[in-house]
Amino acid sequence: MINKERLRDEFCKLVSIDSASFQERKMADTLKTCLTGLGFEVTEDNAGKYYNGNAGNIYGFLKGDMEGEPILFSAHMDTVEPSSDKKAVVQEDGTITSDGSTVLGADDLSGVAAIVEAVRTIKEQGLSHRSIEVLFTIAEEVYIRGSEVFDYRLIKSGEAYVLDLSGPVGTAAIKAPTLVSFTARFTGRAAHAGFAPETGIHAISAAAEAITAIRQGRIDEETTVNVGTIEGGLARNIVPEHCILNGEVQSLNHDKALSEVDKIEGIFQAVSDKRGTVLEFETSFGCIAYEVGIEHNVVKRFEKVCRELGYQTDYIATFGGSDNNNFVRNGITGIVIACGMNEVHSCKEYTHVDELEKCCNITLKLMTWKE
C-alpha cells in the first residue's frame, strides 16, 4: 500500500513551507514541481493577480488507464495565522504538533500530503487508476476566495473529493451552510464629552443597543448568528461618531440565512432611527448551501472504499464553508472528507501519522476504484 514514512516526511516538509492566505507562492511552486514530476499536466491560473496575492490556484490533470469519468481531488494550500516559521514536531506516539507558537497547518496540508502520496504510490507500483484531476487552491481560509474565481470550464470531472475536514478519518460532510457576512456602520455625531455631551449622538451606544436587540448564537438547529467584531470611537473624551460591527449568519437552509439577515437589518435600522444615527448595512455571500444525497455515487463510492478498508464512516453537516461550496455551485458534485486534522485554527492543532495514513489509503482507493 502507501509508504507511511514518506507520507509523514512529505507532510512535515509541506508544514515547513509558510503559506499564509495570498502568500502561497513557495507552496505553489513546490506542488507544481511535484505534480509535474508525477506526470500531471499542470497549470496555474491568475487568481493571485486578481487578488494581489503572489500565487494562483494549481490545477493538474493525469490521464488514467481505467474506464469512467475523471475524479477531482482538492485541498487548499493556505493556512490561517499564526503560521510564520511553523514546523512539525513528531512525538514518539506518532502525534504531530507544531512547536506551540503557530498553527500546525494540518488544515489543509494533511489533505495535500494524502493526495501527493496516493499518486506517488500509483506511479511507483504501476497501479491502474481513473483519470485524476487535482486542484490545490489559494485563499480558502478567507471565504473560499481562490476557488471562487477558478475557471471551472477546465474541470472534466463531475464528482469531487475535497480533503478538508476535521474529525476522525471516515467522516464526510455532505451538507454545508450558506454563509452571509454583514457590516453595519452606525454614524452619530461627535461632541466634546465634557463640555457638550448633549450635542453628540453616541454611535457606540446605538450599536450596543442594536447588538443586544438581535438574537445571537444558535437560532435553530440549522442557523447561527454572530457579531464578531466591534470597532469605534476616537478618544476617551469624545462622544463617538462612528461604530462598525462585523457579523455573520450561517444556515444549512439558504432561504433562512437570507431572512435572518433581513431581520437583523430591520432591527438595526429601527434602533438606529430611534437613536438618531445613520445606518449603512452591507452584506456579502461567503458561500451558498448545498446538500449531496446519501444515494449519490460520490457518497456510495466513498462508503464502499471505507468498508473495504475496514474504516467506520459517518456522514455529517459541516458548519464551515469549504471549496466544495464553490464546486457544487459550479455543477460538480463533491463531498468533504476528513483528512486527519484536529483542533484546527489554533496553536494546539495536531494530527497523527495513523490518521494521515488512513486518509491516504482512502484517497488511493478512490483513485483506483473499479466501479
> What is the binding site for Zn ion (CB under 5 A)?
107-108, 164
Sign of CA dihedral 270, 275, 280, 281: negative
Rounded-to-integer distance, Cα 249 and Cα 241, Å:
26
Q: How far is the CB of 254 from Zn ion (least distance, A)?
A: 22
Residues 6+ apart with CB under 8 A from 259: none
Contact 78, 139 (CB under 8 A): yes
Q: Are 20 and 78 in contact (CB under 8 A)?
A: yes
At 302, give phi and psi (nearest 5°): -60, -40
Identify which of residues 122 and 173 has a Cβ nearer to Zn ion in the complex: 173
Q: 10, 24, 44, 78: which one is catalytic? A: 78
- Least CB distance to Zn ion at residue 318 (A): 11
Residue 169 or 207: the one with the smaller Cβ distance to Zn ion is 169
| Nearer residue to Zn ion within complex by CB, 159 or 164 | 164
How are beta strands 223-232 and 71-76 bridged, if at all?
Answer: unpaired
Nearest approach, Cβ of 233 to Zn ion (angstroms)?
35
Specify the 3-state DSSP secondary structure of 367: helix
State the minimum distance, in angstroms, from the CB of residue 92 to Zn ion: 27
Q: What burial letters (b/e) apply to 260-285, b meaning 16+ CB within 10 Å? A: bbeebbebbeebbeebebebebebeb
Q: 250 pairs with which residues across the strands?
A: 179, 224
Angle, in degrees to the nearest 10, between helices 297-309 and 353-368: 120
Provide, rounded to whole angstroms, the least separation between the CB of residue 30 and Zn ion: 18
- Residue 80 or residue 155: which is nearer to Zn ion going by CB? 80
DSSP for 171-192, written as a single string: EEEEEE-EEEEEEEEEE-B-EE
Question: Shortest Cβ distance from residue 218 to Zn ion (Å)?
Answer: 23
Q: What is the DSSP letter of 148?
A: H
Active site residue 78: yes
DSSP state of 201: B
Residue 150 to residues 198, 270, 308, 320, 323: CA-CA distances in angstroms?
A: 53, 40, 34, 20, 11
* Residue nearer to Zn ion on the CB measure, 107 or 117: 107
Q: Name the catalytic one among 107, 133, 140, 248.
A: 140
Q: Which is nearer to Zn ion, 240 or 340 (CB)?
A: 340
Please identify every residue annotated as catalytic: 78, 140
